Amino acid sequence: MELCEKIKLLRQKHGLTLEEVGNAVGVGKSTVRKWENGMIANMRRDKIARLAQALHTTPAYLMGWDEAGFSSDTPSLSHAAVKALPLLGEIACGQPVFASESHESYIMADPGIPADFCLQAHGDSMAGARIQDGDIVFIRKQSIVENGEIAAVIIDDEATLKRVSYFPEKNMLILKAENPKYPDFVYTGEELERIHILGKAVAFQSRIE
């Protein structure tokens, strides 16, 4: 369901007028009408939080946050409260790109997501895992992940998002895309010294079109 449909249905469900919702969020009723008509799809994070509260729902529901499906214990995105996680630049879904450590921006997240920060995906190499260009990927800091898990990986000060497989008996690390048009990245021996796992991807948030 699109964001505009969710807003309208929830407003009507709770018997709220356009003006009442606008007053609660701090905007005019014409802005709420534009949200419901799909004329405004991008909203400030503080407005999303206030709108969710006014409509008796969660920012997770409105924004279409989705569990990444990376592990069976990823928590449900159903809590009413939110927390702010720093957004650390972009991470490549394809070739590695420079990972900025500036975190002037923050993403409002469900407190049940066990993440320390988030990155914006760039490219389509993880499309098979439902991670698209522009999606926000939530990362939990850890230097080791299990084989088959998706991780943010630093390669020579550049970052990429890939599914990780490590074979200690061969001293080999394979970073695999979730798109057949991208080859695997294979590192062995001393090449492994160039690799640093930044953290495990635990959830993602899709863009609102």
**If residue 23 lies in a helix (H) or strand (E), which one and from where to where?**
helix 18-25
Q: From 1.10.260.40, 1.10.3470.10, 3.30.70.260, 2.40.340.10, which CATH number describes the 3-57 domain?
A: 1.10.260.40
Q: Which of 6, 162, 176, 200 is catalytic?
A: 162
Residue 2 is encoded by which pair of tokens? 């699109």
Tell me the residue length of the chain.
Answer: 209
Q: What is the pLDDT of residue 145?
A: 93
CB 65 within 8 A of CB 77: yes
Q: Domain coordinates of the chain in residue numbers?
A: 3-57, 68-205
What share of the chain has pLDDT > 90, as a percent? 32
Q: From 2.60.120.10, 2.60.40.10, 3.40.50.1980, 2.10.109.10, which CATH number describes the 68-205 domain?
A: 2.10.109.10
Query: Rounded to an integer, what distance in angstroms lies between the CA atom of residue 120 and that of residue 122?
Result: 6
Query: pLDDT band at residue 98, thresholds of 50, 70 and 90?
Result: very low
162 is an active site residue: yes
Fold match, 3-57 / 68-205: no
Nearest to 115 by CA among 57, 71, 51: 71
Residue-wise pLDDT for 32-86, tens only, equals: 998 888 887 667 777 888 888 889 887 777 776 543 433 333 333 333 356 777 8
Q: Which of 47, 71, 72, 125 is catalytic?
A: 125
In DSSP terms, 55 is beta-bridged to none
125 is an active site residue: yes
Q: State mean pLDDT over 174-180.
A: 94
